Structure 1
């Protein structure tokens, strides 16, 4: 039998149509096979796969920070710790809270920290352990975070912090040839209290510079209800 060009072309076209029909009708697959094929197709589609993981321990306090009200069955001490942690996170999130880390460590200006003082400051900022739990001389229990010593009524460091701040301001003014004195006599504020310091020479527009420093404890029990909801709320009200 002689082959013509028309018959060869018919066979080729018929073969193409059979292949097309075969590709259009794939064999049926089981549900498990189709599920794996769908997952593989989704995995190769370029999307972001979802991989749920357990919440890390360091992230749980941050997550609990956004919980405003504790449960009714929670312990009182646990509630106080949560409020203190919330107040600390609010305070360290402020832009001004890290300025002391950028200060020049000058011994003459009183801004030089020894190793122990610097480590305690970092622990207070990060909420880390500073001491062993014990009972204070005033009768209160001191936690491992050392917050009680900053506001204890029998702590002499409360007055020393206030005097240190005023002395730093006075010495800073002296370095720029501006003499100043602390607690000047004959000058009172509107509430009848004396300011903490005043320059002895005019500062601006023929008037002397007068300042008043206030040291507040963010984590004091009497302030925790305000500082746990608003950063710097006690300093603004002082």
Structure 2
């Protein structure tokens, strides 16, 4: 018994050295011990980042929503089964690993070993597939919640003539249908790195605000929701709020 007690005292001392003032409320909860240590390691990684890109990446991938894909049922029938290459690239981007050979992109820019250029390249076909996949997930989620919806509704446009990404066919709130417009911005783009290296999700939130300005002409008749996400997994404020409402629907 005394031997066990000495081991316990030694373990608690080691933990307190690593995480001062963070001892779990319940000493019998393995998760509480692990969470404090993991948070400490993450903060050390962020503090020791040698570039704004590394800091922005770490901040983004540490958000709760950036790991939702790990909890999805891997089923090809509902589009949540990742092939081997996609899974490899997804994990590699989040870890900041070298995922490809350097080469010259057909847009004229040099692509490095980390593969970040393709996330923002204007000529990348992946930008369109990301947008389509994002809208498909939103529509399927609404339908699952018994709220029928359509993509790119006719007869509804913003001030520049472009249509929103989707609309519900029945009222969502306050007797009005929901209209949404999704966007996926690059966390590591030069135009965003100054804010994303300070706080996660700031580029997505900025994009959501821009969407609201573009659709201000329809907000009197519909519930408009901009759904902003970033390439490194973090979401905008409106996206998180909508997800919370949808989860409780």
Q: TM-score, normalised by structure 1?
A: 0.62
Distance 2:153 2:183 in 1: 17
Task: State which structure, 1 or 2, has the greater radius of gyration over its C-alpha atoms.
Answer: 1
Cα 1:154–1:191 change in 2 (3 A) is closer
Deviates more, 1:113-122 or 1:200-209: 200-209
Q: Secondary structure at the match of 1:237?
A: helix
Aligned equivalent of 1:168 = 137
Q: Which runs of 5+ in 1 are unaligned?
A: 1-45, 49-60, 69-80
Structure 1 residue 206: Cα displacement: 2.9
Q: Which has the higher strand share?
A: 2
Distance 1:143 1:121 in 2: 16
Q: Secondary structure at the match of 1:218?
A: coil
1:111 paired to 2:80: yes
Cα 1:119–1:67 change in 2 (3 A) is closer
Residue deviations 1:148-190, cap 9 Å, x none?
Answer: 1111111111112111111222233334543211121233458
Contact 2:74 2:80 survives alignment (8 Å)? yes
1:223 aligns with one of 161, 180, 192: 192
Contact 1:109 1:172 survives alignment (8 Å)? no
Contact 1:184 1:194 survives alignment (8 Å)? yes
Count, aligned residues: 171
Aligned equivalent of 1:57 = none
1:66 paired to 2:66: no
2:94 aligns with one of 117, 125, 145: 125
Structure 1 residue 113: Cα displacement: 0.7
Q: Aligned-residue CA RMSD in angstroms?
A: 3.0
Q: Secondary structure at the match of 2:77?
A: coil
